[in-house]
Amino acid sequence: NNGAARFLPDQRDLASLRRAAASCQGCGLYRDATQTVFGEGPRAAAFMLVGEEPGDQEDRQGHPFVGPAGRILDKGLNEAGIRREDVYLTNAVKHFSFTLRGKRRIHQKPTAAEVDACLPWLNAELAVVRPEVIVVLGATAGRALLGRAFRVTHHRGEPVPLGEALAVATVHPSAVLRAPDREAAYAGFLSDLRAAANVRG
Ligand code: URA
Ligand code: SF4
């Protein structure tokens, strides 16, 4: 298995990429997941937000960030003054990875090999949308975009050059939900989103 590259279309726009990604078999995750959850948002979006992988709800519905993490993210974007029409939402990995516990599907972190396999889709989305600001949501997106040594905790809220864009990293919204002090975690998340909003002035 050599990753997603051989599934990419020659002619690349968001519609052709989405169509091609629907039948990607670039790693093993397509087998047990319901469907590919491709990125969504306007081609001219100034902000690209990159999460980890679809969750249970996203896998069922086919759209990124429509579950509990998405609700926190929506709230944060709203409060940071980032408008929906300026946002393209996607994930480092396009299929849900899980283990079964009884009938429950428990989210499993994608492996480094799965992240690498799926990266051609994210790079293609970046090449089409060419966002001004890339918001890196958590460690998986950080590793995919900024390399293995990148640590969100060391660089959160700090714009770093990434191609022609500036990347601003923050924690994953799911981590906000799991945090012992959820209010403090949300405040930190919001402050990073505000830093991302301020990159554009
Ligand atoms: N978590 C993610 O990283 N992405 C989603 O789309 C949903 C939850
Ligand atoms: Fe392809 Fe990515 Fe799905 Fe793996 S996770 S099958 S590389 S779309």
Q: What is the per-residue pLDDT across 178-187, written as a single tens digit (0 to 9) for each?
A: 999 999 999 9
- For the CA of 68, the closest atom of ligand 1 is 8
DSSP 129-178: H--SEEEEESHHHHHHHH-TT--HHHHTT--EEETTEEEEEE--HHHHHH
pLDDT over threshold 90, residue 124: yes
* Alpha-carbon gap, residue 168 to 82, rounded angstroms: 14
- For the CA of 64, the closest atom of ligand 1 is 6
Question: 34-73, pLDDT tens digit by residue?
Answer: 999 999 999 999 999 999 999 999 999 999 999 999 999 9
Question: 81-101, pLDDT tens digit by residue?
Answer: 999 999 999 999 999 999 999
CATH of the domain at 159: 3.40.470.10
Residue 50 confidence (pLDDT): 98
Residue 200 confidence (pLDDT): 87
End-to-end CA distance of the chain: 44
Nearest residue CA, atom 4 of ligand 2? 27
* Alpha-carbon gap, residue 111 to 133, rounded angstroms: 26
Which ligand is in closest contact with the Cα of 18? 2
pLDDT over threshold 80, residue 201: no
Which domain range does residue 91 map to?
Answer: 4-199
pLDDT over threshold 80, residue 113: yes
* Alpha-carbon gap, residue 137 to 152, rounded angstroms: 9
Q: Does the ipTM surpass 0.90?
A: yes
Q: Specify the number of domains making up the chain.
A: 1
Q: Which backbone phi and psi does 68 adopt, to 5 degrees?
A: -60, -40
What is the pLDDT of the chain when averaged over all its residues? 97
pLDDT over threshold 90, residue 2: no
What's the farthest any 2 CA atoms get from each other in the chain? 49
- For the CA of 89, the closest atom of ligand 1 is 6
Q: Is the pTM of this model over 0.90?
A: yes
* Alpha-carbon gap, residue 63 to 65, rounded angstroms: 7
Which ligand is in closest contact with the Cα of 54? 1
